[in-house]
A and B are shown apart, each in its own frame.
Chain A
Amino acid sequence: MSGPGARRPGTPGSGGSPRGAAAAARDAEVAAAVAAAHREHWGSVLAATAGLTRDLDLAEDCVQEAFVQALSAWREDGVPGSPGGWLATTARRRALDALRRGETLRRKLPLLVWDETAPSAETEGDAEAQRDAPAEGDAARPARIADEERAVVRDEQLRLIFLAAHPALAPEARVALTLRLVGGLTTAQIAAAFLVGETAMAARLTRAKKRIVLSRIPCRVPGAGEIDARLVDVLDVVSVLLATGERAGGEDVLDAAVRILEVLAALRPRHPEVQGLLAQALLLKARAATRHDARGRPVALALQDRGAWDRGLVQRADALVIEALAGGGRGPYLLQGAIAAAVAVPARHEDVDWEEVVALYDALLGHWPTAIVRLGRIVALGEARGAAAALAQLETLGAELDEHRPFHVIRAELLGRIGAHEQAAEALRTALERRGPEGESALLRELVRGV
């Protein structure tokens, strides 16, 4: 299990001893390579190992140990040509050792249902992984992980993605499990992202994994008849990840979301909802550097430095949205992606077509007639037709969103724009009484003083 001790490897922490500068540089290089491999390969290495152990906890332990071993082995021997292959082979050998020693017999739960009937093109081209892996005798059948593009590797990752988002699991467990199993985040990181205590999060993960084996929730890629419905379950989980990443500023969470969407996009190319959510994720990533200032305070969209946005990502997102809309997609995740693209693509804030954004929100309300979507529409309306028009509609949401800080922040902004400064200050003070990130609170306090 991924207890508090399961630190993410690769974070520098060994700088104290008096060693040569070259050795220190080398350590830093290896640490960076391990950290990069962790981001890139955790999910697929874990998936391959779980397929062998049929035990998620044992697989997690073996993968964790493989990453720890990588830190010292790569320092000695250099970073292997295929880090993913090296890690998978190492984790696999540890798993085989554990199985041989019968460690799983002491575990109290039944085995993970790993559906073998699923299509899987067996190994080929493992030569590189085999060569790179530390060779010590028998059992280490080469792991089939060298190439993330390969069908088998993708299939294994997909199994974990669909498992973690299974509808028989509680929604909050799906999100946490996805970050742990697919994203490789530690329990502590996940707890921090959801503003939950680490013990509570560990218990939630343990309960979810127990539920999987006791109920025999299968670890497999859904078949043709069910995949569309199950895909939406995964998208719902990823959507929560994006919102969480945005709120908590969690780059790890955002990266995990992007990687899952890339795998789904490879499984179902041109699926408009996947494309829409991927576009949304890429745009969040493109803007990540400008969304907070150096002191961690949020920067309003109109004031963000568009020149600092990653234009490559913006263009890719825009192309995804255009292709999906042209393909006839009109689902909620595509509409959200289209809204994000309409806001992000123009080179200047003044060039955004806010009437188009309002129209997209109207379409989105057809799927999700929620107060939060209406709040988004009102913000766009304020840009398109002025603050007074927006305020008139905003008041209708007051009862429902009174506990929601952004509602009061938006209200203050709109009131300020029509010159109602007293009321605006009051709305800001109300906003400060609601829960929110500390950087935002700091900004709100400054605004209260300054209005």
Chain B
Amino acid sequence: MARYTVFLYKPSDAPEVDPETLAAQLAEHDAYAREMLEEGVMIFGSPLEDHDATTSIRADSLVDGPFVEVNEVIVGFYVLEVPDLDAAVAIARRNPILHQGGGVEIRPMPGEDGPGTAEDAPA
């Protein structure tokens, strides 16, 4: 099995949506998260508070605000455990953010068969 973090992005200048739309969008995310739990593919996941709520630390200072200014901001993430990239893509493709004006990014996490180990090589 392999682990992936799926990052959810939205444009930083995305317009505010009205409360009903927002509630409907969040309900979609809840339903999607429940599906992933039932399928046993999600280890952990969470939305993130607003980009503005970020605290950044540098060697000599604490800064109110993001470390770097970007056009797309991370609004949440999931950690998946699945056999391979195809499985991760199949799950991430169903993410509701894809039709809510956002996108996702899939990053592999080093796993048990990570660098330097090859124990499960068939002999």
Contact = CB atoms under 8 A, between A and B. Distances in A.
Interface in B86-121: 86, 89, 106, 108, 110-111, 113-118, 120-121
A113 B83 contact: yes
A214 interface: yes
Contacts of B113: 110-111
Interface in A160-197: 168
B83 A108 contact: no
A217 B85 contact: yes
A55 B117 CA distance: 12
Contact of A107 (B2, B118, B123): B118
Nearest to B3: A216
Contacts of A115: 83-84
B118 A111 contact: yes
Contacts of B117: 105, 110
Contacts of B111: 110, 216
B114 A54 contact: no
A105 B118 contact: yes
A218 B84 contact: yes
Contacts of A113: 2, 83-85
Contacts of A105: 116-118
A47 to B, nearest CB: 15
B14 to A, nearest CB: 27
Contacts of A218: 83-86
B118 A168 contact: no
Of listed A108, A109, A215, residue having the most chain B CB within 10 A: A215
B85 A99 contact: no
Contact of B85 (A52, A53, A96, A215): A215
Interface residues of B, number: 20
Interface residues of A, number: 25
A104 B122 CA distance: 12
Contact of B122 (A52, A108, A110, A216): A52
A134 B2 CA distance: 39
B108 A104 contact: no
Interface in A267-307: none
Contacts of B122: 52, 54
Interface string A101-128: 0001101111101010000000000000
B108 A214 contact: yes
Contacts of B120: 111
A54 B121 contact: yes
A216 B84 CA distance: 5
A159 to B, nearest CB: 12
Interface of A: 52-55, 96, 99-100, 104-105, 107-111, 113, 115, 168, 214-218, 220, 222, 226
28 contacts: A53-B121, A54-B121, A54-B122, A55-B118, A55-B121, A100-B123, A104-B118, A104-B121, A105-B116, A105-B117, A105-B118, A107-B118, A108-B115, A108-B116, A110-B113, A110-B115, A111-B113, A113-B85, A168-B85, A168-B89, A216-B83, A216-B84, A216-B108, A216-B111, A217-B85, A217-B86, A218-B86, A220-B86
